[in-house]
Amino acid sequence: MIRSTDAASAAFLDRLRTLNDRLERVERQVAGGKRLEAPSDDPDSVAGLLSAKSGLARLDQTLANINRFETEANTAETALQQAVKLFDRVPTLGSTGASGTQTAETRQGIAGEIGSLMERMAGLANTEVDGRFIFSGDGDQTAPFEMDLGLNPPWSAYRGLPASREAMHPTGVTFRVSLDADTIFNSADPKRNVFQSMENLRQALLANDEQALEAALAPLGQVSAALNSALTFYGNVQSHLGEASETGAKMKLQLKEQVSNLEDADVTEAIVELQQVRFTQQAALQMKAQIPKSSLFDYLA
């Protein structure tokens, strides 16, 4: 009989501990607004919550990278717009210089203007954003070129690296986001080489050589098209990055909702449960208190 009574008391204490644990859990939900604070709160939801939070962290990093790439692409696009505008002046100056009415002296003056355009073009090639030379490819801590009109050729060898930088779309697809200045301004193809075409024209003007002027003018249209092609590349990059940013924002919202659904408590529901648990706890204690207390002599009788 004594063992039976002890067993009943132990069972009561077990149920009471369960109620107390449940009470503590619901009180935490009401106070903190979180349904899932520890694995024991809902073991089946833990894996899904960890996966969603991990995905959210990766997405945040991806969006941060996209934001940085957008800044660089916007700056590059602006720089190349200016480069195209500068180069558009070159054929006009060349045609003027090739006119039979020009003298050696006036051609030297035109050559000086083209030299000034070359220096400005080199400045655009050396465009910098947040301590990075955006046209230096993967070696973005070094300016791509130096320009000294007293040297032959006036521009230095390319001092950056090939551009292999890629952005990751939130869906996992990667795409190229940069070109290097060697490709844009100093191509091995003479029909695409901005610096060389300008220098050829400048030297022809300085030499007052009409035949050389005609030869220097010939490839300028193709060089201009190549420069515009680089501008178009960055326009496309801007579009890709903008779409990636919008997609990432939508995916981030979905992941946040997933985390919220797994982690956040329904406060109204939690309050109702809290009241129910407290009522059950009080009822159990009251019932326990009403059980008659037996003495040892009662069992010996």
CB burial of residue 131 (10 Å; 0-12, 13-18, 19+): exposed
- Structure confidence at residue 181 (pLDDT): 98
- Structure confidence at residue 229 (pLDDT): 98
Three-state SS letters, 165-199:
CEEECCCCCEEECCCCHHHHHCCCCCCCCHHHHHH
CA distance 95 to 176: 38
The residues pairing with 248 across neighbouring beta strands, listed in sequence order, are: none
Q: What is the pTM of this model?
A: 0.74
Q: Please give the helix or strand (H or E) that residue 174 lies within, else none.
A: strand 174-176
Residue 35 · residue 27 · CB < 8 Å: no
The C-alpha torsion from 92 through 151 and 179 to 140, rounded to 10°, is -140
Task: Give me the residues of the chain with pLDDT under 50, please.
Answer: 1-2, 30, 32, 40-41, 265-267, 270, 272, 274, 296-297, 299-301
CA distance 170 to 245: 8
- Structure confidence at residue 158 (pLDDT): 98
Q: What is the DSSP letter of 189?
A: S
The residues pairing with 128 across neighbouring beta strands, listed in sequence order, are: 133
DSSP for 82-146 reads HHHHHHHHHHHHHHHHHSTT--HHHHHHHHHHHHHHHHHHHHHHT-EETTEETTSTT-TTS-S--
Q: Is the dihedral of CA 38, 41, 43, 49 positive or negative?
A: negative
Residue 154 · residue 118 · CB < 8 Å: yes
- Structure confidence at residue 127 (pLDDT): 98
* Residue 212 Cα to chain centre, angstroms: 48
CA distance 123 to 118: 9
- Structure confidence at residue 55 (pLDDT): 87
- Structure confidence at residue 168 (pLDDT): 95
- Structure confidence at residue 1 (pLDDT): 46
Structure tokens at 212: 């050389």
DSSP for 131-151 reads TEETTSTT-TTS-S--B-TTS
At a CB cut-off of 8 Å and minimum separation 6, what does 203 contact?
Answer: 111, 212, 216
- Structure confidence at residue 203 (pLDDT): 98
- Structure confidence at residue 125 (pLDDT): 98
CA distance 3 to 12: 14
